[in-house]
Chain A
Amino acid sequence: MKSGTLKVVLMAIGMLVLATVAGRASAADAICYNCPPQWADWASQLKEIKKNLGLDIPHDNKNSGQTLSQLLAEKDNPVADVAYYGVSFGIAAKNEGVVEAYKPANWDDIPDGLKDPDGNWFTIHSGALGLFVNVEALDGAPVPTSWQDLLKPEYKGMVGYLDPSSAFVGYAGAVAINRALGGTLDDFTPAINYFKELAKNDPIVPKQTSYARVLSGEIPILFDYDFNAYRGKYKDKANVEFVIPQEGTVVVPYVMSLVKNSPHPDLGKKILDFIMSDTGQAVWANAFLRPVRASAMSAEAQSKFLPASEYARATPVDYGRMAEVQKGFGERYLNEVR
C-alpha cells in the first residue's frame, strides 16, 4: 500500500471518529471546578441539576487548593462557571478577585457567619471532621477514640491524612488538632508537633480524596468528614465507623462562588440558585452532610448521624482568621514536618 493511500485511510478514520465524538464532547453546558462525583455525592447533585435545569456538568476531581490555583491561573479567561471549595479558600478567592458577588435564592436562610456579606462565597453545606475508620482493617486493634490514640504504636502504618498544604480537609484537620491540643489560630505549634510525632508512626499522606482506599483497607484510619464515613457505612455497607475524637474537633463549611468573567454567568447563577433550593439542599441531607438550610434536613437523615452528645465536641472556628493564616501554616508544615 502506497504511503499516500495510508495517509488517506488514516484521515478517513480520523474524520469518522471525530464526527462520532463531536456530538459527545460538546455536551458540557457549564463547568464546575471541584465537583467530584463521590465527594459529598456531587454525582447525585449533578444528576438533579441535569434533571431540573437540563444542564450537563461534567465531574471534576480537583481539590480546593487546585481549584483556587486554576482560577488564579485562568484569571484572564476563566474556564469554570462555578467553584466549590472549603471556606478558607473561598475567602482567599474573594481576596484575589477571581469570584463575583452573587446572592442566590434563599440568601437569608444562610446564617451570617457562613457567608460573605456581598455574596462572593456562601456555605452550601458543612461537615464535621473526625476519624473515618475501617474496623476490619485494624487487624484487631481497638477503634481509636482520640487524636492522641493515633500516636500509639498499635496504629503504626494505619493512619492517613490529606496533605494540609493542598487539600482543605487536610488543613481543617490541622486546625482541629491544633485547637484540640491547646493551640490557637495564631500558634500552630501543637499541630506541627503532633504531625511530627505522627510521622514516626508511618502515616500515609495522599493529596486527593482517598475514600476508596479506606474502604479497601489500604488506609484503615483517615482524617476525614463525617459524611464520607456515613456514605461508606450506609451506602456502600462497609464495616466503617466515624469517630469524633475526645479532645474535640471542628465543623467546617464548604462554600461555592460564582466565577468572575465566567463563560456562562447566567447558567452559573441558575446552578447556584438550584443548589440553594429545597431540592438541591435535600441532596446534601441525603448524602449525610448538614445542609446550610437546616429545614432541608429530614428526621430520617438525622437519625443516621452520631448522637448530638457526640457532636457537642464539634464546634466552629473563626473561619476568616482560618483563611488568613492558612498560607503561613502551609509553609510551616512543608518546612518542618518531614
Chain B
Amino acid sequence: MEKRELPFLAVLAMPVLAVTLAFFLLPLVRLTVIAGSGVDGLSAYTAVITTPRYLESLFATTVLSAAVTVVTLAISAVAGVFLERNRFAGRNVLISLLTFPLAFPGVVIGFMVIMLAGRQGLIGEITKFLTGDKLVFAYSMAGLFVGYVYFSIPRVILTIMAAAEKLEPAREEAARSLGASPWRVTRDVILPALKPAFIASGAIAFATAMGAFGTAFTLATNIDVLPMVIYTEFTLRANIAMAAALSIVLGIITWLVLNVARSLAGSTVAAAG
C-alpha cells in the first residue's frame, strides 16, 4: 500500500516544497553567497569571532537568551503545572492572561518595559516612594531581560501545560505511598517526566530570544544584541555583506541548539504549540 501511495503523496507535497524552495532555500543560498562576496570576502564569516564588537555581541546575546530560557522554564513549570493540576474559580481567566502576550510585537513589549522600569515607570515611582531613590533599569541588560521573559512565558507555558496534562498520576501516587515528600515527588517523578517538554519549549524560547529584534530596537541598550548589530550593519551604509554573514552565523548557531535539543528530547514529531 505504501508504494502505491507514493505518487499521490508527492503531488500533495509539491506545492509546499515549491514555495519553500523558491522563497526560502534560494534566498538563503543567495544570502550566503552575498555574505562572502563583500569587501572582506569570505573572512566576513570569521569576522564574528575576530571583531571584538561582534564577538561581545554574540556572547551577550547567547548568555541573555540562555538566562531568559532558564528563568522562563522555571516560572512556567511552577505556574503551568499548578494551573493544569488545580481547578478553581478564575482558573481560565488566569490561563488566558498568561497566554495573552503571545501576539505582542516586540516594540509594544519594549514600551511596556519602559512603562514598568523607565524613568517615569511604575517601579521607579514605587522605589522612589519606598526608598527615595528611583530604580530605573529599562535601558540596561536587566530591562532587556525582563522584556524577553515577558514574551517567552506565553510560548513556553502552553507546551508545559499540555505535557502536564499527560502526566500519569499513578506514578506520583506510588511515590507518595512509598513515603516520598512532595518535594521529592516533584524532583524525581514530575520534573523528569516533563523533561521532553522542557527541552522542546526551551529550545523554541532560546531560538526566539536569539533572533528577537523589536524589543531591543525600542529599548536602545548599551550592549547590542546580535540582531541589532545586524540591523546596524545594514543601515551603516548598507553593509549588506556583513549583515548577511552575521545573519547566517546567528542562524547556524540557533539551528545547532535546536538540533541538540531535539536529539536530547528524542522525538522527531513535535507536539502542537
Contacts from A to B (Cβ < 8 Å): 63, 65-66, 68-70, 72-73, 92, 137, 157-158, 163, 165-166, 199, 202, 204-207, 216-220, 327, 330, 334-335, 338
Contacts from B to A (Cβ < 8 Å): 52-53, 114, 118-120, 136, 139, 217, 220, 222-223, 232, 234-238, 240
A71, closest chain B residue (CB): B238
Is B136's CB under 8 angstroms from A157's CB?
yes
Is B223's CB under 8 angstroms from A69's CB?
no
Contacts of A206 in B (CB 8 A): 220
Choose from A92, A205, A219, A335 the contact partner of B119 (Cβ within 8 Å): A219
| Shortest CB distance A212–B (Å) | 10
Is B234's CB under 8 angstroms from A69's CB?
yes
Is A68's CB under 8 angstroms from B238's CB?
yes
Is A204's CB under 8 angstroms from B238's CB?
no
**CB<8 Å pairs between A and B, sample of 16:** A63-B235, A65-B236, A69-B235, A157-B119, A157-B136, A166-B232, A166-B235, A204-B139, A206-B220, A218-B118, A218-B119, A218-B120, A220-B119, A334-B232, A335-B53, A338-B222
Is A73's CB under 8 angstroms from B238's CB?
yes
Contacts of B235 in A (CB 8 A): 63, 65-66, 69, 166
Contacts of B236 in A (CB 8 A): 65, 69, 165-166, 327, 330
A69, closest chain B residue (CB): B238
- For the A-B complex with A205-B222, A217-B120, A338-B223 known, give 16 more contacts whose Cβ atoms are closer than 8 Å: A68-B237, A70-B238, A72-B238, A73-B234, A137-B119, A157-B136, A163-B220, A165-B236, A202-B136, A202-B139, A204-B139, A207-B217, A207-B220, A327-B236, A327-B237, A338-B222
Contacts of B232 in A (CB 8 A): 163, 165-166, 334
Contacts of B222 in A (CB 8 A): 199, 205, 338
| Shortest CB distance B253–A (Å) | 22
The B contact surface, by secondary structure, is: loop
- Roughly how many angstroms separate A335 CA and B236 CA in the complex, as a whole number? 14
Is A218's CB under 8 angstroms from B114's CB?
yes
| Shortest CB distance B47–A (Å) | 13
Is B237's CB under 8 angstroms from A216's CB?
no
Contacts of B237 in A (CB 8 A): 65, 68-69, 72, 92, 327
- Roughly how many angstroms separate A302 CA and B46 CA in the complex, as a whole number? 55
Is A73's CB under 8 angstroms from B240's CB?
yes
Contacts of A165 in B (CB 8 A): 232, 236
| Shortest CB distance A275–B (Å) | 25
Shortest 7 CB-CB distances between A and B: which pairs? A72-B238, A69-B238, A65-B235, A206-B220, A69-B235, A66-B235, A217-B120
Contacts of B119 in A (CB 8 A): 137, 157-158, 217-220
- Roughly how many angstroms separate A68 CA and B239 CA in the complex, as a whole number? 11
Contacts of B217 in A (CB 8 A): 207
- Roughly how many angstroms separate A203 CA and B232 CA in the complex, as a whole number? 19
A92, closest chain B residue (CB): B237
B218, closest chain A residue (CB): A206
Contacts of A338 in B (CB 8 A): 222-223
| Shortest CB distance A161–B (Å) | 10
- Identify which of A73, A207, A216, A219 gathers the most chain B CB atoms within 10 Å of its CB: A207
B120, closest chain A residue (CB): A217
B121, closest chain A residue (CB): A218
| Shortest CB distance B124–A (Å) | 10
- Roughly how many angstroms separate A157 CA and B238 CA in the complex, as a whole number? 32
| Shortest CB distance B12–A (Å) | 15
- Roughly how many angstroms separate A206 CA and B232 CA in the complex, as a whole number? 12
| Shortest CB distance B136–A (Å) | 6
Contacts of B240 in A (CB 8 A): 72-73
| Shortest CB distance B269–A (Å) | 22
Contacts of A158 in B (CB 8 A): 119
Contacts of A137 in B (CB 8 A): 119-120
- Roughly how many angstroms separate A217 CA and B114 CA in the complex, as a whole number? 12
| Shortest CB distance B234–A (Å) | 6
Contacts of A207 in B (CB 8 A): 217, 220
- Roughly how many angstroms separate A338 CA and B220 CA in the complex, as a whole number? 13
